[in-house]
Structure 1
Amino acid sequence: SPGDGPPNIVLFDYQQGSRAGHCPKQFLQDYQGYLQVDGYEAYTQTDATLVGCMAHGRRKFDEAAKSMPKGKTGKPQWAINHIKKLYRIETLHKDSTPEQRYAARQQQAKPLLDAFKTWLDKAAIHTPPKSKLGIAISYCLNQWPKLTRYIGDGRLSIDNNRAERAVRPFAVGRKNWLFCNTHTGADASAMLYSLVETAKANGLTPFDYLHYLFKELPSLKPGDDLDHLLPWNFANG
C-alpha cells in the first residue's frame, strides 16, 4: 500500500538470449500482484494481474493519423482526442490520494471508456484490419480488459511510461552491448543500471550515490545489514 516500503525501485534483469514467456515467469515466480506492461503476449504466462498501457494505444492511433491522406484523419484524431480526455483526468488528480483518484476515475473516466469501447466496436466493422487504423483499433479491443484495469485501483497508472523512461538508457546505448559478450558482463550491466536508475528515481545524483557505495562497501563484512546503502535511505539520511 502507499507509504509502505521504498518509494521507487528500478530493477533490470538479464535473461539469456530470449524474451519468451518463461523469462518473466521465472523472474516473477509466484508473484500475483499487478504488472503493468504493453501488449507483449509473453507476460500472460505469469501469475500477475496484467495492467495495460494507454500510451501504447494512443501511439498506434498517432501512427494511423500520420498514414492517412491529408485532411482525412477524422477517426484516428477522434480516438486521440478521446484518450487526451482520459489523461486530463489523470493530470487533475495526480496529487490526489489513491482513494480520491479511484472515485474520480469511476465518476469521470469510466463513462469516457464506455464511450470509447462503443466507438471501437463500431469502427472495427468498417475498417480494414491490416490498415494502420485497423491495427490501432484491434490493439485496443484485444487489450481492453487490461487497458481499463487502472480505474479499479487508485494506485495504478494509466500507462507504463515510467518504466519506459527507465529502460531508455538501454535503448540509447544498444550498440555498446555488442561488447558485453559474456553472460557475467550482461548480469553486471543489469545490476549497475539498476543502481543508477534507482538512484535517479529517488532524486539522487548517480555519481554521488555510487561514490557513497564504493566508500562504504569495503568496510562491510558478510552478514552485515545493507539497508543503509539503499538509495531511498541515502536520500533520506
Structure 2
Amino acid sequence: MAGYTGIVLADGYGAYDALARAGPGFTLAHCWAHVRRKLIEAEPHYPDPCRTALELIGQLYAVEREVPVLPAAAAVETAPDLLALRSRLRHERSRPIVAEIQRWALAERALPESSLGKAISYLLGLWPGLTRFLDDPRIPLDNNRTERGLRGVVLGRKNHYGSRSTRGTHVAALFYSLIESAKLCGVDPKRYLLAAIRAALADRTAVTLPHTLLD
C-alpha cells in the first residue's frame, strides 16, 4: 500500500498504524464491530458492564440506520444530501454517545489480562481511529461489508490451497477485487467478465470496470 492516499477502515492490526505514520494522505479509521466483538466475548464473565457498553454501541448503529443507505455503485461525492444528513446526525446524536462510551471505559475497573480489561484496552488504544467517523461522513462504523467480501478468498484458500505462486496471487487478487466490485455495484459478475473479455478482444487497450455496465 505504499503511496496509497485515502481512507482505510480496519481492525487493530498494528501494521496499519505504521502505514498511517508513513503517509500523510493515509487516513486510518477503526472498526466499531471489532470493539463490539471483544465486549461480546467478555459479556458472559462481566454481564453488567458489557451490557452497558453494548447498548451504547447499539445506539450508534441506530443513528446510522436513520440515514438511507448510499448505493454502492454511487460515489459518495454524488450524494451530498445524504452525507450532510449523516454528518448532522453524527454531530447531534452520535457524538454524545461516543463521549458516554469513553466515560464508561475510563471509569470501568478490570484486571488488565481479563477479557473485560482487554476489551477496554482495545477500545481506548484505538480511540482516535474509532472517533474519526464523527468528522467524516464518508467513513462507516465498521468494515463488515469488506470482511464479507473476503469470505470467498478464505473459502477458496481452503479448497484450492492458495494460489501456488506470486503471479498466481496477483491474478487472484485482481479477479477477487473486480468480482467483489461488480457485486457492490449490483452488476452480475459473469455478465461483467464477459463484457470485459469481449472489450479486450476488440481492443487490447480497453479497460472495462464494473460500474461502466450500469444502466
Give the TM-score band, short-chain normalised.
Answer: 0.7 to 0.9
Matches within 5 A, 1:37-52: 37-46=10-19, 47=23, 48-52=26-30
Paired position in structure 1 for 2:100: 115
Paired position in structure 2 for 1:64: 42
Aligned-residue CA RMSD (Å)? 1.6
Q: What TM-score does the superposition give when structure 1 sets the normalisation length?
A: 0.79
Question: Which residue of the other structure, out of 39, 47, 54, is the alignment partner of 2:32?
Answer: 54
1:231 equivalent in alignment to 2:210: yes
Relative to structure 1, the CA distance from residue 215 to residue 159 in structure 2 (aligned partners, 3 Å threshold; closer, same or farther) is: same
Q: CA deviation at 1:34?
A: 2.1
Q: Is the 8 A contact 2:196 2:209 kept in 1?
A: no
Distance across 2 between alignment mates of 1:233 and 1:189: 22
Distance across 1 between alignment mates of 2:88 and 2:178: 36
Relative to structure 1, the CA distance from residue 218 to residue 154 in structure 2 (aligned partners, 3 Å threshold; closer, same or farther) is: same
Distance across 2 between alignment mates of 1:40 and 1:30: 18
Distance across 2 between alignment mates of 1:213 and 1:233: 10
Q: CA deviation at 1:172?
A: 2.2
Q: What TM-score does the superposition give when structure 2 sets the normalisation length?
A: 0.86
Distance across 1 between alignment mates of 2:115 and 2:62: 25
1:176 equivalent in alignment to 2:154: no
Higher relative contact order (CA 8 A, sep 6+): 1
Percent of aligned pairs with the same amino acid: 33
Distance across 2 between alignment mates of 1:145 and 1:73: 27
Q: CA deviation at 1:180?
A: 1.9
Q: CA deviation at 1:148?
A: 0.8
Q: CA deviation at 1:147?
A: 0.5
Alpha-carbon displacement from aligned partner over 1:76-135 (angstroms, at most 9, x marks no partner): 111111100010000012356111211111111111111110110011xx2011111111
- Paired residues, number: 199
Greater CA deviation, 159-168 or 175-184?
175-184
Q: Is the 8 A contact 2:200 2:206 kept in 1?
A: no
Runs of 5+ unmatched residues, structure 1: 1-23
Question: Which residue of the other structure, out of 36, 43, 46, is the alignment partner of 2:9?
Answer: 36
Q: Name the aligned partner's letter for residue 106 of structure 1.
A: H
Paired position in structure 1 for 2:77: none
Alpha-carbon displacement from aligned partner over 1:142-171 (angstroms, at most 9, x marks no partner): 011110110111221111112212212112
Relative to structure 1, the CA distance from residue 179 to residue 54 in structure 2 (aligned partners, 3 Å threshold; closer, same or farther) is: closer
